[in-house]
Amino acid sequence: MRSEKATKGSKRAGHRSLFHALGFSPEDLQRPLIGIVNAFSEIVPGHAHLGELCQAAKLGVASAGGTPVEFPAIGVCDGIAMGHEGMKYSLPSRELVADSIEAMATGHAFDGLVLIPNCDKIVPGMLMAAARVNIPAVVVSGGPMQAGRHNGKDISLSALFEASGAFEAGLIDQAELSRLEQAACPGCGSCAGLFTANTMNCLAEALGMALPGNGTIPAAYSGARKMLAKAAGRVILDLVKKDLKPRDIMTLEAFKNAITVDMAIGGSTNTVLHLPAIAREAGLELPLELFDAISAQTPYITKLSPGGKHHMQDLNEAGGIAAVMRELAAKGLINEGLATVSGSVGERIKDAVNRNPDILRHADAPYRATGGIAIMRGNLAPDGGVVKESAVREDMLVFTGTAKVFDSEEAAVEAISRRAVSDGDVVVIRYEGPRGGTGMREMLSPTALITGMGLKVALLTDGRFSGATQGACIGHIGPEAMVGGPIALVRDGDAIAIDIPGRRLELKVSPEELEQRKAAWRAPEPKIKTGYLSRYARLVSDAKYGAALN
């Protein structure tokens, strides 16, 4: 056992005395030492209940003959951080999660890890750590929030951000806005739509690093989630016994399975950052072309918010990710022979049933023949851009408009709020990339304002979008403005052509004019010059590599 480095032999008497000070008996130290990484906090609704799941996981570990040891992980709530400088810390916090788990797991010689996250950057951060330290590990998340109810309809957090735009446009009054506030988020869990947190929890399952049900069993189903956590606690001892490690599970073929599921369910565009960053820790590369190739052959079979009216609880009732994978496997799109933390993929999904084809369509009768995410190329995005095609209106899939350029999210929000943006415009928000932002902020505030105000405009950014974003919103545009990418050269009044089915994003300016603008361009001063974000900006990779630290 790895823990014997810290617990066995006469030279470790001092080490054992420190364990005894914590209440561990000599017998406890003869069993596998299992780290229970608990992301509980009182500021993140998705994490408020994780203490209960942690206790359940400990029971599972102990019942299977291990010694559980809890330690914490941080988490930023993207919804609370949205629209102000706090969002600059969201994506960079992923690296802090991964680094801190590496330090704790290696520093204390754990034999295995049970990883208990729930929200946006914490799930990929924990998976990055698992791949990096490469000791047996299993993920068990907190589960999705149930949808709220308002005027007889299911709603979620995205409805509130869009309601802000409706209020600014005079479409609803303050009383209606307040009623929506009270209704949208009825309890703990990761926000109810197929936003980034729920997408990543589903993909942890598709990757094979989490048990079936991890992505879709609602947080409010506390009994079911505790049973899942107990099962994860038992499973980790089996993984330790077999020495089955994350890199044995998270192979290139497993990532292809996960991307296929991502495209089939229309997941968040943030997966195009997180999956490459996780793969990189496992010594693998996931180029943008792979996402586009898989999208081209994968049917889009469930239409969840923000792309549709259903929420995670509906997908759970329809059979969850196992049923999604069973539908895809029937079309030969899933590799069933791969290992997971609990048997092979094929063993997991053989008994899965699609219980509601109105929510989860059969793969031979999809909403659309191709997947939910598209990778854009063109003279405005030589390194690519990402759009959630499944959440774009049909009349915006091909669109040419006039550029309205802003050098920060705040400037764009102010202009949209005072109605300086009109139908037919293409809003360009730049210097919000990994280096320029710093931290590649999500742009839910401007996109939700646009949706709520009913504007027919597109939005382009070298930043990124919330999983709750809908509309013709293309993010991750690279190279980013801070390094002189073409998005830095766009001027007000330029024509921009968007062809999402054709995967093209073009700035209608001559090559000669662009060369002149490039020669005159100078990099601006960094927005942040001290602290963690300053270090992050100096070390971060491009978005096409997952915006991970080099």
pTM of the model: 0.95
Q: What pLDDT does residue 161 have? A: 83
Q: H or E segment at 101?
A: helix 90-107
Instruction: Report whether pLDDT(445) > 90.
Output: no
CA 393 distance to own-chain centroid: 23
Q: What pLDDT does residue 164 have? A: 83
Phi/psi of residue 383, nearest 5 degrees: -95, 5
Q: What pLDDT does residue 550 have? A: 86
**Amino acid, single-letter form, for residue 462:** D
Q: What pLDDT does residue 493 have? A: 97
For the question of residue 90 being annotated catalytic, the response is: no
Mean pLDDT over each residue of the chain, to the nearest integer: 95
Q: Of residues 443 and 476, which shows the higher confidence score? A: 476
Q: What is the pLDDT of residues 67-78, one digit of tens each?
A: 999 999 999 999
Q: Of residues 62 and 470, which shows the higher confidence score? A: 62
Structure tokens at 282: 């496992």
Report the chain's terminal Cα–Cα distance, integer Å: 31
Q: What does the alpha-carbon distance between residue 518 and residue 396 come to, in Å, rounded to a whole number?
A: 30
Q: What pLDDT does residue 165 have? A: 81
Instruction: Report whether pLDDT(490) > 80.
Output: yes
Q: What is the pLDDT of residues 178-232, one digit of tens each?
A: 999 999 999 999 999 999 999 999 999 999 999 999 999 999 999 999 999 999 9
Q: What does the alpha-carbon distance between residue 475 and residue 387 come to, in Å, rounded to a whole number?
A: 6
Instruction: Report whether pLDDT(468) > 80.
Output: no
Instruction: Report whether pLDDT(467) > 80.
Output: no
Average pLDDT score over residue span 122-126: 98
For 257, 313, 408, 466, 542, the CA distances from 473, given in Å and listed in that order, are 26, 26, 16, 10, 19
Catalytic residue (one of 344, 390, 466, 534): 466
Whether 93 and 69 have beta carbons less than 8 Å apart is answered as no
Phi/psi of residue 473, nearest 5 degrees: -120, 115
Exposed/middle/buried for 196, CB within 10 Å: 0-12, 13-18, 19+?
buried
State the helix-helix crossing angle for 252-265 and 196-207, rounded to 10 degrees: 140
DSSP string, 445-509: HHHHHHHHTT---EEEESSB--TT--SSEEEEEES-GGGT-GGGG--TT-EEEEETTTTEEEE-S
Instruction: Report whether pLDDT(339) > 80.
Output: yes
Q: What pLDDT does residue 278 have? A: 98
